[in-house]
Amino acid sequence: MIQVLLFARVQEEVGTDRLEADAAGKSIKELKRWMEDRYPVSSLSRTMTAVNEEFANDDEVINEGDTVAFIPPVSGG
């Protein structure tokens, strides 16, 4: 299992700030697709992703016990 942390718009759309997922061995891209299929989220294509507090690209593979964070772009000032 992995922990998935949700921020800003994604957190509001899903209704929670964290999830658990059985995604070890999957890529970030596959996890995004799983999220979009399972939860009422807008596209995650422009969402930044961090794995264990390090920014990651969509091709990175997730390992058992990792923490993945989805950080959508925000505006304001």
Q: Which domains does the chain have, with CATH numbers?
A: 2-71 (3.10.20.30)
- The predicted-structure confidence for 25-53, as pLDDT tens digits, reads as follows 999 999 999 999 999 998 898 899 999 99
Q: Is 80 exceeded by the pLDDT of residue 74?
A: no
Q: How far apart are CA 56 and CA 50, in angstroms?
A: 5
Q: How far apart are CA 67 and CA 54, in angstroms?
A: 10
- Looking at the whole model, is its pTM more than 0.85? yes
Is residue 52 left, alpha or beta, with left meaning phi > 0 and alpha meaning psi from -120 to 50?
left
